[in-house]
Copies of this chain bind each other. A is one copy, B any other.
Amino acid sequence: MDTSKKTLIVFSGDLDRAIAAFIIATGAAAMGDEVTMFFTFWGLNILRKPHAPRHHKDLLQGLFGAMMPRGSLHLGLSRMNFWGLGPRMMRSVMRQHNVMSLEELMASAREQGVKLIACKMSMDLLGFSEDELIDGLDYVGVATYLGEADQASVNLFV
Binding site for B on A (CB under 8 A): 1, 3, 6, 9, 11, 13, 16-17, 20, 23-24, 27-28, 30-31, 33, 40-42, 58, 60-61, 63-64, 67-68, 78-80, 89-90, 92-94, 96-97, 99, 121, 124-127, 141-143, 145-146, 149-151, 153-158
| A24-B99 contact given A79-B42, A89-B63, A92-B60, CB 8 Å threshold | no
CB-based contact B79/A99 at 8 Å: no
A94 and chain B: residue at smallest CB distance? B125
- The prevalent SS among residues of A at the interface is helix
| A117 CB to nearest B CB, Å | 14
| A154-B158 contact given A97-B124, A99-B125, CB 8 Å threshold | no
| A20-B41 contact given A67-B80, A93-B125, CB 8 Å threshold | yes
Q: Would you mind naming 14 contact pairs between A and B with Cβ atoms under 8 Å apart?
A: A1-B1, A1-B153, A11-B17, A11-B158, A13-B79, A24-B146, A27-B143, A30-B143, A58-B96, A60-B96, A97-B124, A150-B153, A154-B155, A156-B157
A149 and chain B: residue at smallest CB distance? B154
CB-based contact B146/A27 at 8 Å: yes
Q: Could you say which residues of chain B place their CB within 8 Å of the CB of A125?
A: 90, 93-94, 97, 99
When the two chains form the complex, which single residue of B30, B79, B155 contacts A156, counting CB atoms closer than 8 Å?
A: B155
CB-based contact B149/A153 at 8 Å: yes
A96 and chain B: residue at smallest CB distance? B58
When the two chains form the complex, which single residue of B23, B93, B141 contacts A61, counting CB atoms closer than 8 Å?
A: B93
